[in-house]
Amino acid sequence: QQWYSSSMKVICMWLADRLDVQLHIYQLKTLIKIVKKTYRDFRLQGVLEGTLNSKTYDTVHSRLTVEEATVSVTDAGGLQGITMKDSDE
């Protein structure tokens, strides 16, 4: 649980440092993959929902979703099927 929380905190701080700058397409694709894989892996390991869906995760998820929407409007094929939407949804 500590590892998950600290990982999300580092990503959140990195995104906060770049709050006024749009992410490059490759940064966005990489972060989406990292966040989704981290979330899924720790969920499979039995980390509690309260820890997984923390305020930090919500902040990261929200920022990446907004960045994804911006890219989809400005660059038609930029993300090539990579999205924050969970495949379970």
pLDDT tens readout for residues 38-80: 999 999 999 999 999 999 999 999 999 999 888 877 766 666 6
pLDDT at residue 76, rounded to an integer = 60
Structure tokens at 44: 């499979």
Which residue has better confidence, 11 or 75?
A: 11
CA–CA distance, 57 with 10 (Å, rounded to integer)? 11
Residue 48: its H or E element: none
* Arithmetic mean of pLDDT over the chain: 87
Percent of the chain scoring above 70 in pLDDT: 88
Q: How confident is the model at residue 83 (pLDDT cuts 50, 70, 90)?
A: confident
DSSP assignment of 15-75: HHHTTTSPPPHHHHHHHHHHHHHHHHHHHHTT--HHHHT-HHHHHHHHHHHHHHHHHHHH-
Q: What is the pLDDT of residue 69?
A: 86
Separation CA 38–CA 8 (nearest Å) = 9
